[in-house]
Amino acid sequence: VSRLVILHEEAEDGNAVPDLTRPVGAVSRAVDNLIKVGYDTCHSSDDRILQADMPPALQRVEASSRLLEDACHMLRVDPYSSIARKKLIEGARGILQGTSALLLCFDESEVRKIIRGCRKVLDYLAVAEVIESMDDLAQFVKDISPWLTRVSRNIDAREKELTHQVHREILLRCMDTVKTLSPIMICAMKIFIQITEESQRGQQEAVENRNYLAQRMTDEMNEIIRVLQLTTYDEDEWDSDNVTVMRKALSAAQSLLTSALDWLADSRARAGATGEKAIRRIVDYSERIAARALPEDARLIRRTVSDITSMTDSLCELRNQGGDSQGLASGCANRLKELVGTKEISGILPGALTNTQRTGGAHPAHTVTGRLEQALRWMDNPGVDDNGLGLQAVKAMTSEARNLSDLLPPTERAKLIDLCVEIDRLADQLADLEHRGLGNSPAAHAIRNQLRNKLRELVDIMKKVITDRVVEDFADISTPLKQFVDAVYAPPTMVNRELNFEEKAHNLNNHSSRCANTALLVAKCGPCKNKKTVEAIIETANQVNAMTPQVIKAGKIRLHNDSDSANQHFDNLRREYTDVLNRLRSHVDDAIDTGDFIRASEQAMRQYTVYCENAIRNNEPQQMVDNTSQIARFGNRVLMTAKNEADNSEEPSFVHR
């Protein structure tokens, strides 16, 4: 490449070109070697796309090399020949472009190779639900393990080659999750088989644990496949952005199409097989896309999904009865292709995604801080048409504030709602003035000043409410789980053992919901503008919500089955849940202002001190102990936060103090 650049520059400078026999000869030898390696790669590969795409690129490089040689001979006769210069430039450019095309062909082939491994893992995960004996499980582990190892090794190698840091991080995170979940899923499959074979209680819980873990792994593998195929940095959108969610759902639906069509084409395939499940999951992903698509696209998707669902239901019934189902299967296959799209058919879902991308440019920001900036930008630029974005941002802020008001005492709630009403009124007045062409009038400027002050007041109130919730809900994230674990391991002779279990499970569920909901409020309404942190909070909060019922089900299995497998299964899920909850608290702490958090903690300690004094006066020892413990927890959280600040500070005097 360096030689070609020099040749290119010498051809363009207009001076007499020196004898290029040696540099052109070196390039020709390199090209000959490249072509040999390229054809060897083609012949040894079983990738038909590579075999089709690589020869034209090789031929282009070869032809360009001949141009260089011709130019070299002509320039030896006439160092100023314009035709020779043109050939020199075209040859150099052709080799560079052809080499680039060759590298791209090879790289895409490598990606397809990794994806084939991922799809193999997905195929095994799809049959996890039908493994019902220990022999089958042993074979399943024997089959899937080498593929998991291969995919892991390939992903580790691939991420080092990627230029986008975000893509690298996603691949590593997904692969780490798959590695963590795979032994947990196998343990869940084992406990299901044992419970079934021994006719013990907890079979339904074991089924749900196994299916949840298999689906989690499936989702992670689909995300790996999606990211592997990215060639540009498209992760600059929020993960909750409509277009990104639609793109992920479409990618997952497309990966299931072949399995669905194979099932439809096989008249012997029965209901409940992998292919039928693929159709059901395509329907789920389509609903996810419809929920975010434009109205006309959403109607078309839902109509098509309804047709596919009813046809699949009828097909399952026909096949179970042994009837002729080929006509119906063919019709269903055509509708699926129309929905998802193929090489020949553009597809309804890809069309809906394209239409949403085309029209969904600006939308209110994902955080209150971002929305405040949009609203202020609207007010600071009178006369500039922002397509109603500023007004939408204001309305989104007041909507979130109204939701937050439910967390407040009646007096403070009424005050916050009154403020929201006032802000909405001012925003509507300003929008009306701008609509009438009076955006620069004195009245409009007066409204803007009022609206700015009111919005800042609203943001301060929301920030305080959220910080108070974080202080309260994340003060102690271990006790509810510890009490639940004690209930799970309670001896069978304990009085009201099952009632105690249900009570502690209910407490754990409520605690998890509070933590997750508060975290989501921090993500949406908090002061953090860091995209990565906000996305991490949303993802981790959703994981907490999804994992809690699985931990409770695993606990119920252990409650009724005192075996090593049940113990291991429960411990696996409990540890994973603990890790996720700790991660959530860490993300939330990163997202709120440390000074505000410490001030709110101090206020909470004062409040609980009053409760302690009241308990002492009323001779309520248990209340006094509970309130004292809560004060200690608040103090410990402040200590942890201060230590974290000191660890991250580069100011010696601050650290010393």
392 domain residue, yes or no: yes
Average the pLDDT over 487-515 and give the result: 94
Mean pLDDT within 171-178: 93
Residue carrying the six token digits 């046809």 = 311
Provide the pLDDT confidence category of residue 231 given band limits of 50, 70 and 90. low
**Last residue of one domain, picked from the residues 195, 223, 251:** 223
DSSP 8-state assignment for residue 240: T
Domain of 38, CATH number, reads 1.20.120.230
pLDDT at 474: 92
Give the integer Cα–Cα distance in Å for 127 and 120.
Answer: 11
Spell out the residues 6+ positions from residue 439 whose beta carbon is closer than 8 angstroms to its own: 382, 383, 430, 433
Residue 454 belongs to a domain: yes
Q: Does 32 fall in a domain? A: yes
Q: Are residue 406 and residue 429 in the same domain, yes or no? A: yes
The token pair at 650 is 């580069």
Residue 603 lies in a domain: no
Is residue 574 included in any domain, yes or no?
no
375 and 321 within one domain: no
**Residue 600 falls inside a structural domain:** no
Whole-model pTM: value is 0.70
Inform me whether the pLDDT recorded for 96 exceeds 90.
no
Residue 138 structural domain: 128-223
Answer yes or no: is pLDDT of 330 > 60: yes
User: Has residue 559 been placed in a domain?
Assistant: no
Whether the CB-CB separation of 612 and 628 falls below 8 Å is answered with yes
Q: What is d(CA 580, CA 519) in angstroms, rounded to the nearest whole number?
A: 13
Q: What's the confidence (pLDDT) of residue 361?
A: 44
- Residue 103: inside a domain: yes
Residues 345 and 397 in one domain: no
Cβ atoms of residues 424 and 333 within 8 Å: no
pLDDT of residue 237: 46
CATH number at residue 300: 1.20.120.810
Q: How far apart are CA 571 and CA 630, in angstroms?
A: 27
Least confident of 226-230, 347-351, 468-472, 538-542: 226-230
Decide: 422 and 457 in contact? Cβ < 8 Å: no
Q: Higher model confidence: residue 624 or residue 236?
A: 624
Q: What is the pLDDT of residue 556?
A: 94
Instruction: State which amino acid sits at residue 207.
Output: V
Task: Please give the pLDDT value at position 13.
Answer: 65
Q: Which residues of 337-376 are buried (b: 16+ CB within 10 A; e: fewer)?
A: bbbbbeeeeebbbbebbeebeeeeeeebbbbbbbbbebbb
Q: Which long-range contacts (CB under 8 A, 24 or more apart) does 167-171 make?
A: 167/227, 167/230, 167/233, 167/235, 170/223, 170/227, 170/235, 171/224, 171/227, 171/228
pLDDT of residue 239: 44
Q: Do 133 and 80 reside in the same domain of the chain? A: no
> Sign of dihedral through CA atoms 495, 499, 503, 509?
positive
- pLDDT of 107 > 90? The answer is no
- Per-residue confidence (pLDDT) for residue 234, from 0 to 100: 46
Is the model's pLDDT at 3 over the cut of 80?
no
Whether residues 419 and 446 fall in one domain: yes
**Cβ pair 371, 393 in contact under 8 A:** yes
Q: How confident is the model at residue 235 (pLDDT cuts 50, 70, 90)?
A: very low
Nearest CA to 215 among 190, 255, 181, 264? Answer: 181
Average pLDDT estimate for 20-43: 87
Helical packing angle, 326-340 and 348-359, nearest 10°: 20
The answer on 266 and 198 residing in a single domain is no
Percent of the chain with pLDDT over 90: 46
| Whether residue 441 sits in one domain with residue 395 | yes
The verdict on 310 and 405 lying in the same domain is no
Q: What is the pLDDT of residue 333?
A: 95
- Considering the domain architecture, whether residues 95 and 132 belong to the same structural domain is answered as no
Average pLDDT over residues 7-36: 78
Cα–Cα distance for residue pair 542/453, rounded to 1 Å: 35
**Per-residue pLDDT at 236 exceeds 70:** no
Q: Which of 444, 462, 480 is the last residue of a domain?
A: 462
Predicted local confidence at residue 146, as pLDDT: 96
- The torsion defined by the Cα of 600, 602, 607 and 613, in degrees rounded to 10, comes to 170
Nearest to 18 by CA among 60, 71, 75, 62: 75
Q: Per residue in 402-411, pLDDT tens?
A: 988 888 888 8
At 43-69, the pLDDT tens digits run 888 888 788 778 888 888 899 888 888
Give the number of C-alpha atoms closer than 13 A to the C-alpha of residue 393, restricted to the C-beta side.
26
Per the document, the length of the chain is 657
CB 305 within 8 A of CB 287: yes
Decide: 416 and 406 in contact? Cβ < 8 Å.
no
Q: Kindly report, residue by residue over 552-601, the tens digit of the pLDDT.
A: 999 999 999 888 999 999 999 999 999 999 999 999 998 888 888 889 98
Instruction: Evaluate whether 65 touches 95 at the Cβ level (below 8 Å).
Output: yes
Could you tell me the two tokens for 226? 């999606």
Residue 240 has pLDDT above 60, yes or no: no
Mean pLDDT of 98-106: 83
* Phi and psi torsions of 649, nearest 5°: -95, 145
Q: What is the pLDDT of residue 534?
A: 87
With bands split at pLDDT 50, 70 and 90, how would you rate the model's confidence at 117?
very high
Q: Using CA of residue 87, residue 90, residue 94, residue 96, what is the dihedral sign?
A: positive
Which of 338, 360, 382 delimits the end of a domain?
360
Are 372 and 356 members of one domain? no
The count of domains in the chain is 4
Give the SS3 label for residue 270.
Answer: coil
Q: Tell me the per-residue pLDDT of 339-383, one tens digit each, with 9 for 90 and over.
A: 999 888 889 999 999 888 776 545 677 778 888 888 888 888 887
On average, the pLDDT of the chain sits at 87
d(CA 157, CA 180): 19
Distance CA 472, CA 476 (A): 8
Q: What is the 3-class SS of 463-506, one letter each residue?
A: HHHHHHHHHHHCCCCCHHHHHHHHHHCCCCCCCCHHHHHHHHHH
Amino acid at 582: N
How far is residue 288 from each of residues 346, 352, 353, 536, measured CA to CA in Å?
19, 12, 12, 21
The answer to whether residues 271 and 190 belong to one domain is no
* pLDDT recorded at residue 2: 65
* Co-location of 250 and 303 in the same domain: yes
Spell out the residues 6+ positions from residue 233 whose beta carbon is closer than 8 angstroms to its own.
164, 166, 167
